[in-house]
């Protein structure tokens, strides 16, 4: 598991792990997923996912944070390890009720301007993404630097979140729901894969109850 986001939470908040039943581990079609979901007291929810595929040649670690009572944006990150390539994407979604400053996240990106970035393909949720999102890929030689960037970015995000104003949880849940409901309706690489492995009903339960915790 990529634990840097969970570790960063500990500076201000207390993550409490949830019981997920049979959704804590899924094996199908040569893929092995392990999932953890946490209630983060006074802030929102955290989800961690670890995946292995291609007989162990491909590994992916994902994390997401969904604020529920602080008016911060949703964060989602994927780290993909291949024998010949390292990929990191960190996406920040426009789910706040009011405008918030993101200078801290921009500052982290500026410090790592030498990393090889890329532009993601257009998708239905492109309009939800904030410009502080980050996308990098390159050879195995950038692995350690991507680790450092990811840790600093997650720490800056949690610092930003801790400074966000409190908000009405019901109003915030409606704003957050745009992302998970859009994923279930319009699809995405991970969502489509989960539907093929565990079906639409279980995928909806995982996305709504454990990943983005909007239900």
A 10 A CB-CB count for 88 gives 25
What residues pair up with 75 in beta bridges, in sequence order? 65, 92
**148 C-beta neighbours (distance < 10 Å), count:** 13
Residue whose token pair is 């908040």:
13
Domains of the chain: 4-210 (3.40.1500.20)
The average pLDDT across 155-177 equals 96
Helix axes 169-176, 178-186, angle to 10 degrees: 30
Q: How confident is the model at residue 193, as a pLDDT?
A: 86
State the residue for tokens 């998708």: 123
Q: Looking at residues 124-135, what average pLDDT do you find?
A: 96
108-113: average pLDDT: 97
Dihedral over Cα of 131, 137, 142, 144: its sign: positive
Query: In the numeric block, which tokens belong to residue 111?
Result: 């410090």
H helix or E strand, kind and range, residue 105:
helix 103-111
Bridge-based pairing state of the strands 15-17 and 58-67: unpaired
Q: How confident is residue 93, by pLDDT bands cut at 50, 70 and 90?
A: very high
Place of tokens 């639409």: 200
């Amino acid at each position: 598991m990529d634990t840097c986001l969970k570790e960063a939470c500990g500076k201000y908040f207390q993550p409490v792990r949830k019981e997920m039943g049979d959704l804590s581990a899924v094996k199908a079609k040569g893929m092995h997923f392990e999932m953890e979901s946490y209630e983060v007291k006074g802030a929102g929810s955290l989800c961690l996912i670890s995946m292995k595929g291609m007989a162990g040649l491909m590994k992916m670690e994902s994390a997401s944070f969904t604020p529920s009572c602080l008016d911060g944006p949703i964060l989602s990150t994927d780290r993909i390890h291949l024998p010949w390539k390292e990929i990191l994407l960190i996406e920040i979604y426009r789910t706040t009720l009011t405008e918030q400053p993101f200078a801290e996240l921009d500052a982290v990106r500026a410090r790592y301007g030498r990393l090889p970035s890329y532009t993601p393909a257009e998708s239905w949720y492109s309009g939800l993404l904030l410009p502080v999102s980050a996308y990098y890929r390159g050879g195995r030689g950038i692995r350690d630097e991507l680790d450092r960037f990811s840790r600093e970015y997650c720490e800056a995000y949690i610092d930003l979140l801790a400074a966000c104003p409190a908000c009405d949880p019901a109003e915030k849940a409606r704003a957050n729901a745009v992302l998970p409901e859009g994923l279930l309706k319009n699809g995405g690489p991970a969502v489509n894969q989960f539907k093929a492995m565990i079906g639409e009903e279980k995928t909806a339960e995982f996305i709504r109850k454990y990943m983005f915790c909007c239900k």
